[in-house]
Structure 1
Amino acid sequence: MANATKANGKEAAYFGVPWEDAYGYAQAIKLGDTIYVSGQVSHDDKGNFVAPAALDGSRKPVDFSMMEHQMRTAYANAVTLLARFGATLDNVVEETLYVLDVDAAFAVAGKVRKEAYGTARPQCASNLIGTTRLAQPEFLIEIVFRAVLSGREANPN
């Protein structure tokens, strides 16, 4: 992952994937004790899509069986970004899952979320929203996070 940068009291973190420059955004921003994590999708640290959905001739997903794998990868990417600021999923206070197929997401979300957070009842607000399209047609899910540091995590020095 590319080094974090600081400007205007904000600290930014990047993966170094091509679309950060193409679109012009940071993967995560820390301001004060709050970390805002941009929508995480299913890619590796080099920007390769992980478990891309199969597409039809018009580039629309025809199979949602990769939802679980994509969801796991998005959570793993968030964990990596949060760690840059000394945080974990335990610091997450809200998440929003944007999905192409609500039924496919509900079928796996409980299991994946509980494993990611390491508890049967994750202590964060959660929204699951169906949408017609994400940034790339191969993506079935994108997850946005907001985390709050407290105590030592907010001021490690």
Structure 2
Amino acid sequence: MSATRTENFGVPWEEAYGYVQAVKRGDTIYVSGQLAHNGPELVAPAPLDENGKVIDYGNMGEQMRRSYTNAEALLRRFGASLADVVEEVLYVLDIDAAFDVAGPIRKAAYGRDDPQVASTLVGTPRLAFPAQLVEIKLTARM
């Protein structure tokens, strides 16, 4: 049986929800859904109406970039990088807004025009935080 190692960012929702940001088991790293945060603050929060509903998806790209940055930071703690990612799932509030920005952002994140990663894009009506537009879950193999 191989050892399990975990990593966290130390943000409040880890303890509140009860999870870790990443788990390494054997040669596989499972990265929990990453969102665009810098410490406990959401990066580029979506504007909300008086009922707390998103009214503009224009920050999708910035949130997506930051989510990949946070995932990369976690992977580096295990001696890995986005180059080791074999599968990703992007959960987005708006598929069209995601398609408008995802290609160039993903290519830049993975550092190549043809990212060698199985990818799934899923539209969802809500994510963990009302102003959150995207969450990215990864699996990496070393």
Which of the five TM-score ranges fits, normalised by the shorter chain? Answer: over 0.9
Q: After the TM superposition, which residues 1-157 of structure 1 pair with which residues of structure 2 at under 5 Å, given as runs?
A: 9-44=3-38, 46-149=39-142
Secondary structure of 1:64's aligned partner: coil
Per-residue CA deviations over 1:109-135 (Å, capped at 9, x if unaligned) read 000000000100000000000000000
Shift of 1:47: 1.3
Shift of 1:58: 1.3
- Gaps spanning 5+ residues in structure 2: where? none
Between structure 1 and structure 2, the one with the greater Rg is 1
Shift of 1:86: 0.3
What CA distance in whole angstroms lies between the structure 1 residues aligned with 2:55 and 2:101?
Answer: 18
**Which residue type is aligned with residue 46 of structure 2?**
A
- How many residues align structurally? 141
Secondary structure of 1:97's aligned partner: strand
Shift of 1:57: 1.3
What CA distance in whole angstroms lies between the structure 2 residues aligned with 1:70 and 1:118?
Answer: 18
Shift of 1:9: 2.3
Higher RCO (CA-CA < 8 Å; seq separation 6+): 2
What CA distance in whole angstroms lies between the structure 2 residues aligned with 1:128 and 1:47?
Answer: 26
Q: What's the C-alpha RMSD, in Å, of the aligned pairs?
A: 0.8
What CA distance in whole angstroms lies between the structure 2 residues aligned with 1:111 and 1:26?
Answer: 29
Sequence identity (%) = 57
TM-score, scaled to structure 2: 0.98
- Gaps spanning 5+ residues in structure 1: where? 1-7, 150-157
